[in-house]
């Protein structure tokens, strides 16, 4: 016998015997996430054009402080704490998005689906199934530096709060100057809150907390109720990846929509006629 690698397996990053297009999925994931990260960071740093009529960009909600002099900013009474205080450090951008994006960001970063996606697409551990990973001297998984992934449920608690806030924003988008109405933007924001709710309520940690942690679903009346909830959450959980992508795309699109309408690039068709 000659000296071919044992079993015919070669070493090297991303080397595989597979002859299908396994690399398309991690590549698209890489491009999709990169695009979103670049756009959302750029948009968050702008601090302007996040408000139009009664539409508030989801990247900027809730408004903690606002700069009322920025173009396309919300009225100052919409902010929880009013205008930026005079002591605000100059090196921190006066953008309301800057104060809140860490919370949904943490939820997505520690999400079990996103972990799969970026471990494959960005960390190459592994890039695909039966494809050689990036070599590591001492693989520790999520037991050492990545131990913080275990705090996903705390990011979930904030994400649940954001769902309430975004639905509030969506319903406010149906009222302008005291008059009920509907615009394309109202529907965009309502869909945004709904997609985010479907994503958040399909979370693995949520599924565990509502009932998955029980061993006996029939032992008492509360367990039976939790079982019914667990079944419904399981329905969403089975579509977690789908809603992760839809909600990611739509939240970015919602921000872009409000921004372009605020800049006058797009016209918002609405019953208010402006």
Neighbouring C-alpha atoms within 13 Å toward the C-beta of 81:
8
Q: Does 232 bind other proteins (CB under 8 A)?
A: no
Q: Which of 46, 95, 205, 254 binds other proteins (CB under 8 A)?
A: 205
Binding to other proteins by CB under 8 A, coded x per residue (else -) over 10-49, reads ------xxxxx-----------------------------
The DSSP call for residue 18 is -
Q: How far is CA 150 from CA 163, 239, 274, in A?
A: 22, 22, 48
Closest CA to 58 of 173, 149, 137, 155: 173
Task: Annotate 230-256 with b (16+ C-beta within 10 A) or e (fewer).
Answer: beebeebbeebbebbbbbbebbbebbb
Binding to other proteins by CB under 8 A, coded x per residue (else -) over 160-199, reads ----------------------------------------
Q: Which of 45, 71, 151, 263 binds other proteins (CB under 8 A)?
A: 151
Q: How far apart are CA 155 and CA 88, in angstroms?
A: 27
- # residues near other proteins by CB under 8 A: 50
Judge contact between 206 and 243, C-beta under 8 A: no
Q: Which of 46, 237, 247, 262 binds other proteins (CB under 8 A)?
A: 237
The residues of the shown chain that bind other proteins, judged by CB under 8 A, are 1-4, 6-9, 16-20, 112, 115-116, 119-120, 125-126, 129-130, 132-133, 136, 139-143, 146-147, 150-153, 204-205, 208, 212-213, 215-219, 227, 237-238, 240
């Amino acid at each position: 016998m000659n000296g071919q690698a044992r079993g015919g397996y070669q070493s090297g990053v991303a080397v595989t015997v597979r002859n299908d297009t396994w690399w398309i999925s991690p590549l698209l994931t890489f491009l999709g996430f990169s695009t979103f990260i670049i756009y959302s960071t750029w948009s968050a740093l702008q601090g302007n054009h996040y408000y139009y009529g009664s539409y508030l960009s989801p990247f900027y909600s809730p408004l903690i402080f606002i700069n009322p002099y920025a173009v396309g900013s919300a009225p100052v009474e919409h902010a929880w704490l009013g205008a930026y205080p005079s002591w605000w450090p100059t090196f921190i951008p006066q953008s309301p998005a800057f104060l809140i994006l860490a919370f949904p960001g943490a939820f997505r970063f520690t999400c079990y689906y996103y972990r799969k996606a970026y471990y494959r697409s960005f960390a190459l551990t592994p890039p695909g199934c039966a494809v050689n990973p990036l070599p590591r001297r001492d693989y520790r998984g999520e037991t050492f530096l990545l131990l913080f992934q275990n705090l996903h449920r705390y990011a979930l608690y904030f994400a649940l709060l954001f769902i309430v806030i975004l639905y509030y924003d969506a319903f406010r988008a149906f009222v302008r100057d005291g008059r009920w109405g509907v615009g394309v933007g109202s529907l965009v924001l309502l869909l945004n809150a709904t997609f985010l709710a479907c994503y958040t309520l399909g979370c693995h940690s949520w599924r565990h907390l509502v009932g998955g942690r029980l061993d006996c679903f029939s032992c008492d009346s509360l367990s039976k109720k939790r079982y019914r909830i667990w079944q419904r959450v399981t329905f969403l959980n089975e579509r977690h990846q789908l809603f992760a992508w839809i909600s990611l795309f739509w939240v970015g699109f919602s921000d872009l929509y409000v921004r372009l309408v605020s800049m006058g690039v797009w016209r918002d068709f609405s019953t208010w006629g402006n």
